[in-house]
């Protein structure tokens, strides 16, 4: 990547404190597709000149999948170690690239001694649009393309964030079409609750295939989302339906970067 | 006089029986663990007013919402009429409110009649949806013979009660026109006026019909009252406290386990001395491991199936049905309660909610997406029961699916659910990575 990504350790060594910590998350760190989204979030932060840093090798899983799977021990071990690191760096504000990290740090860390202002990257983007720092100009045009937004469960129902990701799409010169199951009625991609890490139980179809029916019904050529797990599930769904030529799955951060030519 | 005594005996008997059954339900609910829901009372009153009284979560399905609203308003308002029936029954009076209320009385009775008709029509439509149209929402593995009959009994009883009420008014109306006995002109009969021509014209027969319907109506209501604690229809009462004690936190936030926090703190810091806490198992194996709120929810569930119809696991043919989780919890709780009644407090059968009622396959199908909790019109939370049972399976039994154990192992060893080295966490930022 062109820009140098600042880490907390380096910043602290220089005696600096960033305005915001970018919590990358495991998918954002290791999953090849999600890594692209991570880099795009950094491009946005860099573009608007926010002082930020990442934890890098000091970051560890928030413990979300362990908690959803019922392993509260492991969750709390992860949480307490992370909280120690975050508090050690005197972190006040966090932006995450993943709704699961967002939910866990925002809602489940305070009870264990970690209280921060936590936002999801779509909320960061919405804020920057509202402040006039981000527009949709100088980049790829989405004109004439139908876009639909898939609500990640832990962003939407889990935390009532429905408008932020849509705000990032509404500034595009494009048509935002809603699926019949959207917002609080949104259908899960099938990855939550630690399902990402196991085979689904026996059934008659996969949940992401069911979701593709909603997508295809809208006639959208872009599915936007804001979650690395949804990204995997939706991308697989598009493949199963053999719609790779017609339908692209993009994160809100990627769409923002493309629209602004960053 | 004899009629008055009979009435009073029936009334007292019905109220006593109902009180006894409610006390048993309360006892069963309090078998659950404690959880504090006494915070934020103003918010709780507000949510109860909105969701329970105002039925705002029903509107997602407009047809059912409108008809349910008719039945709800009809039943609440027609209870004013029941008050008059009670007083008449005890004192041997007839339409005691008619004189003091004057012309308002006519308006009220007329209003009750219109509502009674709306209730009646709605119940007929509801019966048709269940038995003729066979809506998918009302079927499923958990919808066995009893839950299906329960629903049909409730709707049929309501139809019979409303029919008796209207027929009683029709006979009364005819007797009023005949100036027969104590049937003084009172009330207005916009609906029963149409039934009147179907009734016989002899005053003796009419008085018989009027009294017959009067007794049928009031005894029916008292019997129905006593049916409630055994039925899904108990929701008409429990919906209110159940919504009052709703989870007010974000849906994505799962409960913390203080007992685990102590152990983890002791593990990370050997000098940490935890406060003594009551020893209980981690997670939920049987209903008594659940909180009283989980158990109240089980009694509140009216088996409408909105949760199951939006559950991604259920939609794609998995075994999980959130409605079944609630119904199983109630069935098991009733069984545990009956065991206590029969064999005393310390009796244990060799059954548990886990395995005897809810299978592991159901638990592991959940995506924790919160569609079920969002859909429930009375804020029931099947997801909490599912995750608590997962906690038992994982922490007490170490019986998680193998792939999840791999995930746990990765997280313990390298701080990620996948097998990647912690040292590679920043590789995405390398200068050669260009999109």
More confident residue, B185 or B249: B249
Query: Are A153 and B367 a contacting pair at CB < 8 A?
Result: yes
Contact status of B267 with chain A (Cβ, < 8 Å): yes
Instruction: Enter the tokens of residue B383.
Output: 């997801």
Q: How confident is the model at residue A173 (pLDDT cuts 50, 70, 90)?
A: confident
Residue B271: per-residue pLDDT: 85
Domains A8-126 and A134-260 belong to one CATH topology: yes
What is the spatial distance between Cα A52 and Cα A46, in angstroms, rounded to a whole number?
8
Query: Are B263 and A73 a contacting pair at CB < 8 A?
Result: yes
CB-CB neighbors (< 8 A) of B249 in chain A: 107
Answer whether residue B237 shows pLDDT above 90: yes
Read off the pLDDT of each residue in B248-252 and give the average, rounded to a whole number: 97
Shortest CA gap A144–chain B (Å) = 25
Question: Which position has the token pair 């026109």?
Answer: B177
Query: Are A108 and B256 a contacting pair at CB < 8 A?
Result: yes
Residue B391: per-residue pLDDT: 98
What is the spatial distance between Cα B326 and Cα B328, in angstroms, rounded to a whole number?
5
Answer whether residue B273 shows pLDDT above 90: no
Answer whether residue B275 shows pLDDT above 90: no
Looking at the partner chain, which of A38, A111, A204 has a beta carbon nearest the beta carbon of B428?
Answer: A38
Provide CB contacts within 8 A for B92, sequence distance 6+: B1, B3, B4
The size of chain A, in residues, is: 262
Contact status of A69 with chain B (Cβ, < 8 Å): yes
* A211-247 pLDDT tens trace: 999 999 999 999 999 999 999 999 999 999 999 999 9
User: What is the share, in percent, of chain A residues with pLDDT greater than 70?
Assistant: 100
* A158-170 pLDDT tens trace: 999 999 999 999 9
Contact status of B310 with chain A (Cβ, < 8 Å): yes
Shortest CA gap B62–chain A (Å) = 15
Question: Which position has the token pair 């002791």?
Answer: B266
Interface of A with B in 211-250 (CB under 8 A): none
Helices (H) and strands (E) in chain B — how many of each? Answer: 19, 0
* A130-158 pLDDT tens trace: 999 999 888 899 988 999 999 999 999 99
Domain boundaries, chain A: 8-126, 134-260
Residue A203: per-residue pLDDT: 96
Read off the pLDDT of each residue in A57-74 and give the average, rounded to a whole number: 98
Residue B277: per-residue pLDDT: 66
Looking at the partner chain, which of A107, A112, A198 has a beta carbon nearest the beta carbon of B261?
Answer: A112
* B373-405 pLDDT tens trace: 999 999 999 999 999 999 999 999 999 999 999
Query: Are B361 and A66 a contacting pair at CB < 8 A?
Result: no
Q: What is the mean pLDDT of chain B?
A: 94
What is the spatial distance between Cα B182 and Cα B193, in angstroms, rounded to a whole number?
20
At the second CATH level, the architecture of A8-126 is 3-Layer(aba) Sandwich (3.40)
* B123-177 pLDDT tens trace: 999 999 999 999 999 999 999 999 999 999 999 999 999 999 999 999 999 999 9
* B254-270 pLDDT tens trace: 999 988 998 888 888 88
CB-CB neighbors (< 8 A) of A28 in chain B: 428
Q: How many other CB atoms are found less than 10 A from the CB of residue B298? A: 27
Query: Are A197 and B253 a contacting pair at CB < 8 A?
Result: no
User: What CATH number labels A134-260?
Assistant: 3.40.50
Answer whether residue B278 shows pLDDT above 70: no
Looking at the partner chain, which of A199, A207, A209 has a beta carbon nearest the beta carbon of B403?
Answer: A199
Residue B259: per-residue pLDDT: 86
What is the spatial distance between Cα B328 and Cα B24, in angstroms, rounded to a whole number?
18
**C-alpha pair distances (Å), A200 with each of A230, A241, B142, B313, B365:** 15, 19, 22, 9, 7
Answer whether residue A249 shows pLDDT above 70: yes
Interface of B with A in 395-414 (CB under 8 A): 395, 400-401, 403-404, 406-408, 411-412
What is the spatial distance between Cα B27 and Cα B262, in angstroms, rounded to a whole number?
31
Query: Are B374 and A157 a contacting pair at CB < 8 A?
Result: yes
Answer whether residue B232 shows pLDDT above 80: yes
Read off the pLDDT of each residue in B20-41 and give the average, rounded to a whole number: 96
Nearest CA in chain B to A68: B387
What is the spatial distance between Cα B224 and Cα B236, in angstroms, rounded to a whole number?
12
Contact status of A35 with chain B (Cβ, < 8 Å): yes
* A11-48 pLDDT tens trace: 999 999 999 999 999 999 999 999 999 999 999 999 99
Looking at the partner chain, which of B251, B260, B364 has a beta carbon nearest the beta carbon of A76?
Answer: B260
Q: How confident is the model at residue B81 (pLDDT cuts 50, 70, 90)?
A: confident
Nearest CA in chain B to A185: B371
Query: Are B370 and A157 a contacting pair at CB < 8 A?
Result: yes
Phi, psi of A118 (to 5 degrees): -115, 130
DSSP summary character for residue A239: H
Instruction: Enter the tokens of residue B37.
Output: 């829901």
Q: How confident is the model at residue B184 (pLDDT cuts 50, 70, 90)?
A: confident
Answer whether residue B315 shows pLDDT above 90: yes
Shortest CA gap A143–chain B (Å) = 23
Residue B1: per-residue pLDDT: 78
Shortest CA gap A154–chain B (Å) = 6
């Amino acid at each position: 990547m062109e820009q140098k990504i600042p880490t907390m350790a380096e910043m602290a060594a220089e005696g600096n404190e960033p305005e915001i910590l970018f919590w990358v998350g495991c998918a954002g760190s290791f999953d090849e597709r999600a890594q692209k989204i991570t880099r795009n979030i950094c491009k946005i932060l860099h573009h608007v000149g926010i002082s930020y840093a990442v934890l890098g090798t000091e970051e560890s899983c928030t413990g979300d999948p362990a908690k959803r799977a019922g392993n509260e021990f492991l969750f709390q071990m992860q949480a307490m170690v992370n909280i120690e690191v975050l508090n050690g760096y005197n972190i006040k504000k966090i932006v995450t690239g993943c709704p699961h990290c967002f939910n866990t740090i925002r809602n489940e860390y305070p009870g264990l001694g970690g209280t921060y202002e936590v936002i999801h990257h779509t909320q960061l983007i919405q804020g920057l649009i509202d402040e006039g720092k981000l527009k949709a100009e100088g980049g790829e045009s989405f004109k004439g393309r139908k876009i639909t937004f898939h609500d990640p469960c832990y962003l939407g129902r889990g935390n009532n964030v429905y408008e932020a990701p849509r705000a990032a799409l509404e500034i595009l010169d494009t048509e935002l079409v809603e699926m019949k199951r959207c917002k609080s009625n949104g259908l899960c991609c099938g990855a939550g609750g630690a399902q990402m890490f196991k085979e689904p139980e026996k059934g008659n179809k996969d949940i992401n295939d069911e979701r593709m029916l909603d997508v295809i019904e809208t006639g959208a050529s872009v599915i936007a989302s804001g979650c690395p797990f949804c990204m995997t599930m939706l991308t697989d769904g598009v493949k199963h339906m053999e719609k790779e030529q017609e339908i692209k799955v993009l994160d809100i951060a990627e769409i923002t970067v493309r629209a602004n030519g960053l | 006089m004899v009629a008055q005594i009979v009435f009073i005996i029936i009334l007292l008997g019905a109220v006593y029986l109902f009180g006894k059954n409610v006390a048993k339900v309360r006892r069963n609910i309090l078998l659950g663990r404690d959880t504090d829901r006494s915070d934020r009372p103003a918010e709780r009153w507000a949510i109860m007013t909105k969701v329970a009284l105002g039925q705002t979560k029903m509107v997602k399905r407009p047809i059912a919402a409108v008809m349910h609203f008719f039945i709800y308003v009809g039943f609440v308002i027609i209870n004013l009429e029941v008050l008059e029936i009670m007083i008449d029954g005890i004192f041997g009076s007839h339409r005691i409110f008619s004189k003091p209320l004057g012309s308002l009385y006519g308006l009220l009775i007329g209003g009750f009649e219109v509502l009674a008709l709306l209730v009646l029509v709605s119940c007929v439509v509801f019966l048709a949806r269940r038995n003729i149209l066979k809506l998918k929402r009302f079927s499923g593995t958990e919808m066995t013979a009893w839950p299906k009959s329960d629903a049909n009994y409730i709707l049929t009883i309501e139809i019979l009660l409303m029919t008796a009420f209207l027929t009683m008014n029709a006979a009364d109306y005819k007797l009023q026109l005949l100036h027969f006995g104590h049937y003084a002109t009172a009330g207005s009969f916009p609906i029963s006026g149409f039934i009147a021509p179907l009734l016989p014209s002899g005053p003796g027969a009419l008085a018989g019909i009027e009294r017959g319907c009067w007794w049928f109506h009031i005894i029916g209501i008292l019997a129905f009252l006593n049916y409630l604690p055994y039925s899904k229809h108990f929701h008409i009462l429990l919906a209110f406290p159940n919504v009052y004690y709703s989870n007010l936190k974000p849906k994505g936030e799962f409960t913390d386990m203080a007992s685990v926090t102590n152990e983890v703190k002791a593990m990370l810091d050997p000098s940490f001395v935890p406060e003594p806490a009551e020893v209980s198992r981690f997670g939920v194996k049987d209903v008594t491991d659940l909180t009283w709120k989980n158990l109240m929810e089980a009694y509140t569930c009216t088996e409408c199936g909105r949760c199951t119809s939006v559950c991604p696991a259920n939609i794609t043919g998995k075994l999980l049905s959130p409605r079944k989780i609630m119904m199983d919890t109630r069935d098991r709780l009733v069984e545990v309660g009956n065991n206590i009644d029969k064999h005393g407090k310390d009796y244990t059968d060799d059954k548990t909610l886990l395995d005897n009622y809810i299978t592991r396959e159901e638990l592991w199908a959940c995506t924790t997406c919160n569609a079920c909790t969002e859909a429930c019109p009375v804020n029931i939370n099947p997801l909490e029961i599912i995750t608590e049972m997962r906690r038992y399976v994982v922490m007490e039994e170490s019986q998680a699916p193998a792939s999840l154990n791999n995930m746990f192992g990765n997280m313990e060893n390298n701080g990620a659910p996948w097998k990647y080295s912690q040292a590679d966490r920043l590789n995405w930022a390398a200068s050669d990575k260009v999109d």
